[in-house]
Amino acid sequence: MHELILGGQKSGKSRCAEQRAADWLDQSAAREACLIATALPGDVEMQQRIARHQVDRARRVPKLATLEVPYALPQALREYSAPRRLLVVDCLTLWLTQLRMPLSGPALGDAAWLARQAALCDALRAAPGPVVLVSNEISLGLAPLSAEGRQFVDSLGQLHQRVALVCVSVTLMVAGIEMPVKRP
């Protein structure tokens, strides 16, 4: 069963995904869970944020392994998904940022981005184990002033729609509270 967990900044979405992993691990000693982290430490504050998340995650879910995968997310899902392994992807927003608004190097063009989205959805459909995906819901406010900002919001919204179609469950986090959007 795949789930998409959406929410604003500090809404509790990562903690919710970690709880899904902890619950999964508690059901059987034969089960595994792995976090696929998409963040890149572009500046000192982001390095500190990532380090803080790592410490907090290790305390909350000590058996949750971590892989750093900032770009090759579809390939990672294909490689690491297994019937007894739950994957947590945290987060789609940063994955999109790395591909469409990279700190260095060229950005993916529209056609390449659409192909990458399709590859992600194909990998999700083919995943033999459960996948929990985390992403920021950023389209509830005003439209950004820049064309680049509007394009990013549009790209993320389209990604959410495509991923939500593949997922059995979609949850919106608001102030640490789960709001079911889609359930089996």
- What per-residue confidence (pLDDT) applies to 137? 96
Residue 53 annotated among the catalytic residues of the structure: yes
- What per-residue confidence (pLDDT) applies to 159? 98
Q: How many CB atoms lie within 10 A of CB 131?
A: 23
Beta-carbon contacts of 100 under 8 Å, excluding residues fewer than 6 positions away, are 107, 108, 113, 151, 152, 155
Q: Which residues of the chain have pLDDT under 70?
A: none
Q: What is the DSSP letter of 83?
A: T
- What per-residue confidence (pLDDT) applies to 94? 95
Angle subtended at Cα 144 by Cα 143 and Cα 148, rounded to the nearest 5 degrees: 125
Tens digit of each residue's pLDDT (9 = 90 or more) over 87-105: 999 999 999 999 999 988 9
CATH architecture for residues 3-182 = 3-Layer(aba) Sandwich (3.40)
Q: Which of 8, 40, 46, 53 is catalytic?
A: 53
pTM for the model stands at: 0.95
SS3 content of the chain, % helix, strand, coil (to 5): 45, 20, 30
